[in-house]
Structure 1
Amino acid sequence: MAYLKTNPADRERFLCIYPAYINSKKTIAEGRRIPSEKAVENPSCTEIRDVLTAAGMNVYVENKMYPREWNRDVQFKGRVRVQLKQQDDSLCQEKFTSRKDVLFYLAEMIPKLKTRTQKSGGGDSGAQQGEGGKKGKKKKK
């Protein structure tokens, strides 16, 4: 995204956040950085970008793969760069003092996104109906 007010050398100091860091489906060995009970199921780069942009952070997305990610699908692609500190080492926002603060904030806010609340409402009932049908078929055999 070209709307940042920083020069390219400063962007190298931005934090890298891969979706695997907050993915509840990943193990610690696969790259999860926060406890699984606080993590989010399969977050995307766009969700991370949207949440951090809404929080007023300087953010941009890069088309990179997480090195530990074995699946090369498009949904797993991308990393988000976030500016935590300014050039004079003062914090951009007081509530984000470290990488962990940003990760916990993301894990808290991503489930509240409109896209997540709409998807989960319709998807849960469909999954339950599908499971019921499968159980019935097994009993008949």
Structure 2
Amino acid sequence: MTSVASEPLSSQKRWIVIYPAYIDKKKTAKQGRKISQILAVENPTSVEIHDVLAAVGFNPLLERTKCYPRDGERDFEVQGRVRVQLKNDDGTAKHEQKTRDEIFKMVAEMIPKLKTRQPGYTAPSVASSSAAAAGKKNKKKK
């Protein structure tokens, strides 16, 4: 079995990991918050982190089934983590954010700007979209 350090930097095993707890304002440093509370955001989700990174130009990998080891609650809403490639195989920075901390701060800064975080936003109803999908299926059968 080879060590992770011997794999190229483009290998997903070498990508940095971002858990929502790293940028959660409600967490303490002891609970896993990695940036200052002033910069942190309340209740981030792994999907929001993934969306922000994808919008900026990263190629993030969302792992929904992973849980933060320090999180005793194991809440489904905050479950998951995102992997991001920080460096190319030759060791150069892949994006202008060169460190983990810069990426954490950038993500925490952009999450409040997401459409889903804006006042007055209502999420599309799951029941109505399911009914619409069922209606489309029925139309195809005719």
Q: TM-score range by the shorter chain?
A: 0.7 to 0.9
Indicate whether 1:51 and 2:57 are aligned.
no
Identify which of 56, 71, 74 aligns with 1:72.
74
State how 1:31-46 maps to structure 2 within 5 Å.
Answer: 31-46=32-47
Unaligned ranges ≥5, structure 2: 1-7, 123-142
Offset of residue 30 of structure 1: 0.3
TM superposition shift of 1:80: 0.3
TM-score of the superposition, structure 2-length normalised?
0.75
Equivalent residue letter for 2:112:
P
Residue 102 of structure 1 corresponds to which residue in structure 2?
103
Q: Secondary structure at the match of 1:101?
A: helix
TM value normalised by structure 1: 0.76
- Write the distance in 2 (CA, Å) between the matches of 1:117 and 1:45: 18
List structure 1 runs of 4+ shifted beyond 2 angstroms. none
Q: Which amino acid aligns with 1:87?
A: D
* Residue of structure 1 in register with 2:119 after alignment: 118
- C-alpha RMSD of the superposition: 1.7
Match of 1:89 in 2: 91
Offset from partner CA, 1:7-53 (integer Å, 9 cap, x none): 9x700010000000000000000000111111000000000000000
Where do 1:2-17 residues align within 5 Å? Answer: 10-17=11-18
Q: CA deviation at 1:118?
A: 3.2
**Distance in 2 between residues matched to 1:73 and 1:109, nearest whole Å:** 23
Quote how far apart the aligned CAs of 1:76 are: 1.8
Structure richer in helix, relative to its length: 1
Amino acid in structure 2 at the alignment position of 1:86: N
Q: 1:31-82 CA deviation, whole Å, 9 max, x = no partner?
A: 0011111100000000000000001002101121000001122112101000
User: Which 5+ residue runs of structure 1 have no aligned equivalent?
Assistant: 1-6, 123-141
Identity of aligned residues (%): 48
